[in-house]
Amino acid sequence: MNQPRPLSNETHQTRQSEPTLFENLLGDALERAFAAGIHDLDDLVTQLNVTGPRAPQGELWNRDSLQAMLAQLGQ
C-alpha cells in the first residue's frame, strides 16, 4: 500500500510581500460576511459598503470594482 505524502503548509508561499492594511481590512470584512452567511456578490458589495473598507479612492464598491479587486489580489 502506498503511503500518502506528508501534508505541507503552503500558506503564503507564493506571496510577494506582507498584505497591506487595506488588504487585511478587506479580508477581515469578507471573512465576517462569509461567517454571516453572505456569499452572493451583490450581497457582499452591499455588506462592504456598510461595514467597509471603502473601495480604492474612497469610493463605494460595486460588482465590477469588487470583482476587479479580487482578481488583482488573486494574481
Please, which pLDDT band fits residue 75 given cuts at 50, 70 and 90? confident
Pairwise CA distance, residues 49 & 62, whole Å: 9
What whole-number percentage of the chain has pLDDT above 70? 87
pTM (whole model) above 0.75: yes
Q: Which three cell numbers stand for residue 5?
A: 505524502
The conformation of residue 11, written as its DSSP 8-state character, comes to T
